[in-house]
């Protein structure tokens, strides 16, 4: 994985009184799982989108593996970060296989390797490739679409995973299996994982550290799950 550092990062959207993220500094160590928790509207998604450079901070700096996020070219960013979101964000006009194989295709993997990897990733999220490869997103349930979103984020084997409530619509049994899978990816492959959830049990299970954000869009506490629970 790669270390991610936020230095005094603020994001203000136009026509909004309060900042969405207000002077946040946070070091996410390489190879750890850091979970962001906090009330709706405290800036969790905005933080994730800034790390993935979908939006720019108003002020402050973000580095990934020591490089300023704004200086990383789009191709390198694609290889570095896998991103999965609650709404899954699948391309409706593309099949499940095309969605999962998109980033590997963009970074130049050959067809056979993409196809094998797509099947492997669908298996990993509990979707039978034979049954689902050629379907379109609208033919899947919300939970199944989320699982495809996770498969897509993992497909190119990026060192960093940004996961924004990736399992919200997934049934509890499958969710438990996917949580275990993420922990395996961290333990065996050293992925750096930033994970957003509303579910405190999930935060405690997955997190090496938990960042608790408050209504003021600032970090209230950043510590181990044990220390956060004790507080």
User: Which residues face 210 on adjacent strands?
Assistant: 35, 223
**Residue with Cβ nearer ligand ADP (74 or 130):** 74
Q: Any idea of the CA torsion for 221, 225, 226, 231, to the nearest 10 degrees? A: 30
By CB under 6 A, tell whether 78 contacts ligand ADP: yes
Query: From the CB of 224, what's the least distance to ligand ADP, in Å?
Result: 22
Q: Put the strands of the sheet holding 67-68 in their side by side order.
A: 21-28, 4-11, 59-64, 67-68
**Residue with Cβ nearer ligand ADP (91 or 187):** 91
Positions in 118-177 near ligand ADP (CB under 6 A): 152-153, 158
| Among 1, 82, 129, 168, contact with ligand ADP (rule: CB under 6 A) | 82
By CB under 6 A, tell whether 46 contacts ligand ADP: yes
* CA separation for the pair 151, 126 (Å, rounded): 10
| Candidate ranges 35-43, 168-176, 203-211, 218-226; the one touching ligand ADP (CB under 6 A) | 35-43
Q: Where are the beta strands (DSSP E) in the chain?
A: 4-11, 21-28, 33-37, 59-64, 67-68, 81-85, 160-164, 192-196, 209-213, 219-223
Q: Which residues bind ligand ADP (CB under 6 A)?
A: 13, 16, 20, 40-46, 78, 81-83, 89, 103, 106, 152-153, 158
């Amino acid at each position: 994985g790669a270390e991610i550092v936020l230095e005094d990062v603020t994001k203000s959207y136009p026509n909004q009184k309060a900042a969405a993220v207000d002077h946040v500094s946070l070091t996410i160590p390489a190879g750890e799982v850091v979970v962001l928790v906090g009330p709706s509207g405290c800036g969790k998604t905005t933080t994730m989108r800034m790390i993935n450079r979908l939006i720019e901070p108003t002020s402050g700096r973000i580095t990934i593996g020591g490089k300023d996020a704004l200086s990383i070219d789009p191709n390198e960013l694609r290889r570095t970060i896998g991103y999965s979101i609650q709404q899954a964000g699948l391309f409706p006009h593309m099949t499940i296989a095309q969605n999962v194989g998109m980033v590997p295709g963009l970074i130049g993997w050959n067809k056979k390797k993409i196809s094998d990897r797509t099947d492997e990733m669908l298996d990993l999220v509990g979707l039978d490739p034979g049954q689902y490869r050629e379907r379109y997103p609208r033919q899947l349930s919300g939970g199944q679409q989320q699982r495809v979103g996770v498969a897509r984020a993992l497909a190119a084997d990026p060192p960093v995973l940004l996961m924004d409530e990736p399992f919200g619509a997934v049934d509890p049994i499958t969710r438990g299996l996917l949580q275990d899978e993420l922990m395996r990816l961290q333990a065996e492959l050293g992925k750096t994982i930033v994970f957003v959830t509303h579910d405190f049990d999930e935060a405690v299970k997955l997190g090496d550290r938990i960042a608790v954000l408050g209504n003021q869009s600032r970090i209230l506490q950043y510590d181990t799950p044990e220390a956060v629970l004790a507080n």
